[in-house]
Amino acid sequence: MLIHNATVITFDSSNRVMADGGVCVQGGEILDVDESASLLSRYPEAERWDAQGKLLMPGMICSHTHFYGAFARGMYIPGEPAKDFPEILQKLWWPLDRSLDMGGVQSSAEVCLVDAIRNGTTTLIDHHASQNAIDGSLDAIAAAVDASGLRSVLCYEVTDRDGPEAARAGIRENVRFAGAVRGSQLAERVASTFGLHASMTLSDETLEACRAESDRFHVHVAEHQADAWDSLSRSGKRTVERLHGFGITGVESIFAHCVHIDSWEMGLLRETGTFVSHQPRSNMNNAVGAANVPAMLRGEMPVVLGNDGFSNDMFAEMKVTDQLHKVNSGDPRTLGADKVLEMAVYNNRRLVGAFFEKPVGMLAPGACADMILLDYYPTTPLNGDNLPWHILFGISGGHVHSTICHGRVLMRDRELLTLDEAEISARSRERAQETWERFWQS
């Protein structure tokens, strides 16, 4: 397949913009990136796709999400509104995950995958919980991911909050799934990591048992002060120090949020090369505060960008990232589009590189053919220097016209080719209703 006549954004080593360029794809991989005329003469036999001047760029990446959160949309929560984040967990998220059955697990994932294809997010790192449907839950999600054609990294969130048997089942599910994926056909697009809920719901014994099974983890860290207070009372250490003591930090580990960490904890994260995942829309919605992202980026820490179950429009998450830190600091010089791109594009790509054999998130020969076409026709000049500002202030998920992952076209001219959206929505309405009824009865 040869896509030509596009404005190509490569995101390889710099913010390169190529007018009238294209990409030649073979199988799941990018074979060549060049000017249209050169590609057309070099590959005369290739099937051609005239992009008619659209933007062609790598698919977006989300470093932290919860597919099952799709069922929270519009859900009525009885009783007094939650007054803080610990109450949000107790009144919403924990009873919701306990109310899911296997059909709900798969159906909520499908809803998010449709949304991801529509918004041009081709790689998603999910963090799953369904405490009454643990065994096989990652297979149900992987089946949905496989059918969609997208790329994903999956894990199950181990926690002690529902007793020792559920904690053991969570560990088993991570270990079983990692073994099932490794070396399988799925491994081209589906990878695993080891999920942990958060320090505040994990005993020393459980953390030790998890560390014995894996050397990379995906965990919520200090999303609210409660996680720091709990860690101090359990161990006399703050959250990052406690997790570090159990070997949970590391160059392939993802620590989501890190809102309430002190400078010593930040130093530990920097020293260990741990990825810090930032989700500003979620942090604002839960009123938990703003992580010190500007300082972490100044220290060249690998801060990545996720959505925590909000819409899979990563362009929206990028806009909010910039705005949150500007309002939080009271200084319009804080962050800026180039720093936001550093997280959402370059750091996210580095993170995903830990899970797949070939590079993801750039248009370059040998990289995975994960790409999106956007019908964004700039009304001001567009070049490598001002590209980040076009992305922040011009582009949105609504501009995504076509989505390709691993060389397969998943959406063309806004028509989904792998998933039946009407059928998925109808099934989801039914399963969500059943899930809500279990939620209200609990």
Interface with Zn ion (CB under 5 A)? 308
Q: 98 or 401, CB closer to Zn ion? A: 98
CA 182 to CA 429: how far, in whole Å? 34
Question: Least distance (Å) from Zn ion to the CB of residue 13?
Answer: 32
Coil vs helix vs strand at 283: helix
Which residue's CB is nearer to Zn ion, number 56 or number 221?
221
Cβ at position 306, least distance to Zn ion in Å: 8
Give the separation between CA 10 and CA 341, rounded to whole angstroms: 13
Q: How far is the CB of 308 from Zn ion (least distance, A)?
A: 4
For residues 173 and 308, which CB has a smaller minimum distance to Zn ion in the complex?
A: 308
According to DSSP, the residues that pair with 371 across neighbouring strands are: 58, 404
The DSSP result for 300-369, as a single string, is: T--EEE--TTS-S-HHHHHHHHHHHHHHHHT-TTSS-HHHHHIIIIIIHHHHHHTTSSS--SS-STTSB-
Closer CB to Zn ion, 308 or 322, in the complex: 308
The distance of closest approach from Cβ of residue 314 to Zn ion in the complex, given in angstroms and rounded to an integer, is 15
Closer residue to Zn ion, CB minimum distance, 308 or 313:
308
CB nearer Zn ion, residue 127 or residue 408: 127
Give me the residue label for tokens 């070997």.
Answer: 247
The SS3 of residue 342 is: helix
Nearest residue to Zn ion by CB is 308
DSSP 214: -
Q: How far is the CB of 201 from Zn ion (least distance, A)?
A: 13
Measured CA to CA, the distance from residue 425 to residue 375 in angstroms comes to: 26
**Smaller CB separation from Zn ion, 63 or 418:** 63
For 169, the enclosing helix (H) or strand (E) is: helix 164-181
- In contact, 105 and 140? CB cutoff 8 Å: yes
Q: CB 438 → Zn ion: shortest distance, Å?
A: 22
Of the pair 55, 105, the CB lying nearest Zn ion is at: 105
Strand blocks (E) in 206-302: 217-221, 254-257, 275-278
Residue owning tokens 């490569």:
10
**N- to C-terminal Cα distance for the chain?**
52
Please provide the DSSP assignment of 409-439 as one string: EEEETTEESS--HHHHHHHHHHHHHHHHHHH
Cβ-based nearer residue to Zn ion, 308 or 317: 308
Closest approach of Cβ 181 to Zn ion, in Å?
Answer: 22
Position 44: which residue type? P
232-270 burial code (b ≥16 CB/10 A, e <16): eeeeebbbbbbbbebbbbbebbbbbbbbbbeeebbebbe
The single residue listed with the structure tokens 């009144």 is 91
Q: What does R_g of the chain's alpha carbons equal in angstroms?
A: 21
Q: To the nearest whole angstrom, how small is the minimum distance from the Cβ of residue 220 to Zn ion?
A: 5
